[in-house]
């Protein structure tokens, strides 16, 4: 019968659709993660907040996930990658400027005395070197210098381009969250202008979802058109207590998922997970893998100290990911 034939075709069409649909869901969204408690907890959380009609359902507009960058999405050893960029830039500049070469913090940078640069609660020496290498140019000029550096520099131990050193399991996590309606943000002590050069290409995170340390630019109308000059005025350091402050300033609502790796992320883990009216998740990447990456927590080579947040993790319910045991692959 004509109608039956049509109905059969429809059934067949729906069967194909359903098969594909089912397959998409059945595929492992986190293949580089071993079947650990962490992986199960991540998936359980995502399923819980996305189940339409359930009590814990969170509307997509409120599915905000914030990720630290250095040590969470890519390494921060032997020094944070932006510090490596700054040292390379300052080496160039100091070779042409004897006053600059005489600056004690410049000398610390050139001799690799990271301890001296990171001294003090706000890493004043590093900030000074950042100022020398991150201000006085237009934003486009700065962008070009970052691109050029990335294209021509390799990591000393891991021997890859720096932007080819993101953790594959975290990339999968970013994608998995976005596929479930989350908006993924970077919230990093690193410079916003530095990260925005490559964040969209490398992480699929557009510039407007990158929150980082920043200072005011200065608007100027030149013959060539309007430009923004980078300055160090009104510096905002997006670290420690600055992270929830930056999140409020840029996003204006509380995240429901937060990913970090150091005590610098403790305040944003607290802001995300303590007495949040929405269900929430906090996760700490614990660097335990000396063979494939680095192993450190309380005594890192440069930045990335993890003592307090690790100590608080059990009482706060934060997941602690053991890089060595929980990840079957680290790199793409």
Binding residues for a copy of itself (CB under 8 A): 1-2, 5-6, 9, 61, 139, 183, 192-193, 196, 200, 206-208, 210, 214, 216-219, 221, 224-226, 228, 234, 236, 241, 244-245, 248-253, 267, 270-271, 274-276
- The 10 Å Cβ neighbour count of residue 57 is 13
Q: Closer CB to a copy of itself, residue 2 or residue 314?
A: 2
Name the minimum Å distance from CB 293 to a copy of itself.
Answer: 29
Residue closer to a copy of itself (CB basis): 32 or 272? 272
Cβ of residue 246: shortest distance to a copy of itself, in angstroms? Answer: 9
Q: Which two tokens stand for residue 199?
A: 């964040």
120-141 burial string, b = 16+ CB within 10 Å, else e? eeebebbbbbbbbbbbeebeee
**Smallest distance, a copy of itself to C-beta of residue 248, A:** 5
| Contact assessment for residue 285 and residue 265, using Cβ atoms and an 8 Å cutoff | no
The H or E element spanning position 268 is helix 266-273
Q: How far is the CB of 21 from a copy of itself (least distance, A)?
A: 21
Residue 235 beta carbon to a copy of itself: minimum distance, rounded to whole angstroms: 9
**What three-state secondary structure class fits 179?**
helix
CA 219 and chain centroid, separation: 28
Beta carbon nearer to a copy of itself, 16 or 54:
16
Q: Which residues of 196-227 are buried (b: 16+ CB within 10 A; e: fewer)?
A: bbbbeebbebeeebbbbbbbebeeeeeeeeeb
Partners of residue 295 on adjacent β-strands: 288
User: Which CB, 18 or 218, lies closer to a copy of itself?
Assistant: 218
Q: Which is nearer to a copy of itself, 11 or 274 (CB)?
A: 274
Max Cα-Cα span within the chain:
93
Q: In whole angstroms, what is the distance from residue 163 CA to residue 161 CA?
A: 5
Q: Which is nearer to a copy of itself, 116 or 122 (CB)?
A: 122
Residue 320 sits at φ, ψ, to 5 deg, of: -115, 115
Which stretches within 27-155 are classed as H helix? 37-50, 81-94, 98-102, 104-110, 114-117, 124-134, 139-152
State in angstroms the smallest separation of the CB of 102 from a copy of itself: 32
Minimum Å gap between C-beta 217 and a copy of itself is 5
Q: Buried b / exposed e across 59-95, counting CB within 10 Å, b at 16+? A: eeebbbbbbbbbbbbbbbbbbbbbbbbbbebbeeebe
Closer by beta carbon to a copy of itself, 48 or else 183: 183
Nearer CB in complex with a copy of itself: 63/286 = 63
C-beta of 4: minimal distance to a copy of itself in Å? 9
């Amino acid at each position: 019968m004509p109608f039956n034939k049509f109905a059969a075709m429809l059934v067949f069409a729906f069967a194909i659709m359903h098969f594909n649909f089912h397959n998409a869901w059945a595929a492992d969204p986190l293949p580089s993660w071993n079947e650990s408690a962490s992986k199960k907890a991540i998936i359980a959380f995502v399923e819980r907040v996305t189940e339409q009609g359930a009590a814990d359902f969170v509307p997509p507009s409120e599915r905000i996930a914030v990720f630290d960058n250095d040590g969470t999405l890519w390494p921060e050893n032997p020094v944070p990658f932006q510090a490596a960029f700054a040292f390379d830039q300052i080496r160039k500049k100091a070779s042409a400027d004897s006053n600059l070469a005489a600056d004690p913090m410049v000398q610390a940078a050139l001799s690799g005395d990271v301890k001296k640069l990171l001294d003090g609660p706000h890493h004043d020496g590093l900030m000074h070197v950042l100022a020398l290498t991150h201000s006085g140019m237009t934003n486009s000029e700065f962008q070009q210098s970052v691109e050029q550096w990335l294209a021509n520099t390799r990591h000393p131990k891991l021997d890859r381009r720096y932007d080819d050193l993101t953790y594959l399991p975290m990339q999968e996590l970013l994608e998995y969250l976005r596929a479930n309606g989350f908006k993924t943000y970077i919230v990093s002590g690193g410079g916003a202008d530095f990260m925005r050069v490559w964040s969209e290409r490398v992480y699929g995170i557009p510039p407007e979802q990158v929150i980082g340390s920043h200072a005011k630019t200065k608007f100027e109308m030149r013959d060539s058109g309007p430009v923004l000059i980078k300055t160090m005025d009104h510096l905002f350091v997006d670290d420690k207590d600055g992270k929830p402050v930056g999140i409020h300033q840029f996003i204006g609502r509380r995240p429901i998922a937060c990913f970090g790796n150091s005590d610098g992320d403790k305040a944003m883990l607290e802001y995300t997970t303590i007495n949040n009216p929405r269900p929430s998740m906090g996760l700490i990447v614990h660097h335990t893998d000396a063979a494939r990456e680095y192993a450190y927590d309380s005594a890192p080579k440069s930045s990335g100290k993890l003592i307090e947040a690790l100590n608080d993790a059990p009482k706060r319910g934060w997941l602690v990911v053991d890089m060595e045991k929980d990840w079957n692959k680290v790199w793409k």
